[in-house]
Chains A and B, each alone.
Chain A
Amino acid sequence: MDFNDTPQEAEFRAKCRAWLEANAELKTKKTNSAKNMNIGNKSLLEAAAEWQKKKYDAGWAMIHWPKEFGGIGATPIERIIWAQEESKFNVPKGVYEIGLGMAGPVMMEYATDEQKERYLPPMAEGKEIWCQLFSEPSAGSDVAGLRSKAVQDGENWIVNGQKVWTSGAHFSDFGILVVRHDPSLEKHKGLTFFFVDMKSPGIEVKPIKQLTGGSSFNEVYFNDVVIPDSQRLGEIGDGWKVAITTLMNERLAVGDADGVDANEAFELAKKHDKDGEQLIDNNAVRESIADWYCEASGLKNTKLRTMSALSRGDTPGPEASITKIVSANKLQAIGNFGMDSSDMSGMLMNEESDFIKFQMAWMGAAGLRIAGGTDEILKNIIAERVLGLPQEARADKGLAFKDIPSGS
């Protein structure tokens, strides 16, 4: 056992590091704080585009992609090394992740060669931003229950309906989309997958104001939107299969909850005092921090085990499935702890104070426990895919979609 890179990995890491040092600034304690919560902010868009272009020009944008689309054919372990090194630098985040992480793999797998040539390089370069249009008002955890309708009309499809929770729809150029082409078929069988130009007539984007006050997500309305059949990904009726490719990538993309962790709780507890007594001297506080530390350490070492498998060229086990459940819940608990530590003033927000990161964690965590698969859905996935337990008895099995009870 060791934590060292192999010689090739060390060489690759040094290359990443050298380029990053020449082109970006290392994070400091200050730049690491909770900023840019609202990705609709225009200056962030510009900054992110500039960074993406810089990476693309130097071959760092999508390193695991083949050369012809702007990558360098990097191995999974090299991809992790690059991400680890990039995360140490203060670079703009939150604009391209969905497109590159979810639309990218689907286009790579299902688009025609001409489409790949046309769409993948600008996606990697950051010239065109992509979003993902899956969830609907009546289809969240049960996303296959979506109702947006596509009707074939010669060479085209006419789409009507509403999508929701679409990150970045308001600044996206293209989107990947699942719709129902035949409600008389069973739920999973009546779906078809497309990509769509977000500037198409009939698409209307409305931001959703979140409980944080910010707006990262949107509602997207489709009114007689025309999509050419050439933009269909996969066969008619294969929409669910194609969507699963994307959702698998989403779990990897969402991953760890960013924000305050056991270290920050520990630092806060050492700083705070109450009648001359430090918070860290309180037994209950010590026990909580010990448990958070163990969870954080467990996640970190789980990732290292995954990396070890990749480094050997093996397929990682299912361990990674625990990351979001554990980190989002821990984030919520630590946010609560931070605010409690200030007693009656814990509710007061001050943009200038570092303390706000606990409040933002507390608010953000409520969303993270839902985004990219709720705690409950993720536990079902662990139970069914990892432990092999049987599926829940379902009221919609074998029914035509139109006959499934919807409560409305």
Chain B
Amino acid sequence: MNLDFSDDQKLLQEEAKKFLTKEDALKINRAVMDSDKTYDQDLWNKIVELGWTGIRIPEEYQGLGLSHLELCVIAEELGRQLAPVPFSSSVYLFTEALIEFGSEEQKQSILPKLVTGDVIGTLAIAETNSAPTINNISVELKDGKLSGTKIAVPDAEVATHAVVVAKNGDSVSLCVADLNSDGVDITVQRNIDESRGYYSVSFNDANAEMIGDEESGWSNLEKIMDHAAVLFSFEQIGGAQASLDMANTYAKERYAFGRPIGSFQSMKHKLADMYVALTLAKSNSFYGAWALSSDAAELPTAAATARVSATKAFQLCSQENIQTHGGNGFTWEYDCHMFYKRSKVLSLNLGSLPSWREKLIKSLEQANIKL
């Protein structure tokens, strides 16, 4: 029985934590929030230099050839310190899609550049304010040309490429588009988290290349989403832990009625509830990491379980962290709001909490899995 990370993986996590602390990623996140930027170039360059963008990329494509587990521990640290970089878009979404579904030629031309940072990728799914389904995708791929508009595409400005979900005749396909090519228009969209960039991307007969089987675009997308759900769940538990730690520190330092507010039972129970939610989420994320790294048949169930628990935990911890801080928690000056906003963005980016609960139940219906 070993539902835990190896000593090497824990060491990697410790190094990631030290690096992000030394760089003061949280402070950089605040600086990004206070500026027009949507990410930090300097921090991103350093992350590329450390080789993190190539963790999962096989050595034959100049990557590190490590497993998803190494990616999970990095994700937890990025989430803990809210690092404002396009890592999740490029690594959890784009790179995973390339590794899973890219042709040999596509892998050879793109994967080495993801390692060096010459290519930064993202994934374009949403089009309207309804959840995307196999039936309502209208961006169209025809004769190698893409037309239509995607919205809420993360990091599209810094990204050089995107995997785009497109209608292709009667089916849905995935294709790769060069975002710097003719016929691509990118417009920033205001969003709730000032440290993240979301964009509308319009394609007007832009060149695109199919990735993966023409007919299997939707099921391939679901697989990419399952991978991403597990990886993001580690960002979420990292953020939830940071929120709980902040609340805990404040509850010990802040005095009211002549004693630390953390000595009031109402505050203790609040923090205990946060701890319970976080512990459940963490254990489910470990389970998701196992399913992802071993390509288990349970992955859809494990990913949805990790996603639902981690979303609930981060939202609870970040919102109750504000509550614990009282009026201070509502100010721009305190860090609480950065976690609150990130938790909501992360709860929506792969589809909402209700939609993942629904995925979980569907996976249970299909797989007949028992606890």
Contact = CB atoms under 8 A, between A and B. Distances in A.
A291 B308 contact: yes
A399 B314 CA distance: 43
Nearest to A289: B361
A304 B1 contact: yes
B91 interface: no
Contact of A382 (B3, B252, B262, B275): B275
A322 B289 contact: no
A294 B275 contact: no
Interface string B109-148: 0000000000000000000000000000000000000000
A307 interface: yes
A379 B277 CA distance: 12
Contact of A294 (B4, B244, B305): B305
B263 A393 contact: yes
A389 interface: yes
Interface in B266-317: 267-269, 271-273, 275-276, 279-281, 283-284, 286-287, 289-290, 293-294, 304-305, 308-309, 312
Contacts of B251: 389
B30 interface: no
Main secondary structure of the interface of B (DSSP, over half): helix
Nearest to B370: A263
A388 B244 CA distance: 12
A326 interface: yes
Contacts of B263: 389-393
B169 interface: no
Nearest to A379: B272
Residue in B3, B293, B365, B371 whose Cβ sees the most chain A Cβ within 10 Å = B3
B361 A302 contact: no
Contact of B4 (A1, A295, A383, A388): A1
A109 interface: no
B192 interface: no
B279 A298 contact: yes
A304 B364 CA distance: 21
B264 A308 contact: no
A33 interface: no
Interface of A: 1-6, 9, 77, 261-263, 266, 280, 286-287, 289-291, 293-302, 304-305, 307-309, 311-312, 319, 322, 325-326, 376, 378-380, 382-384, 386-393
Closest 5 CB pairs of A and B: A298-B280, A383-B268, A301-B283, A290-B357, A379-B272
Given A2-B294, A304-B287, 6 more contacts: A289-B361, A290-B358, A296-B371, A297-B283, A304-B283, A307-B3
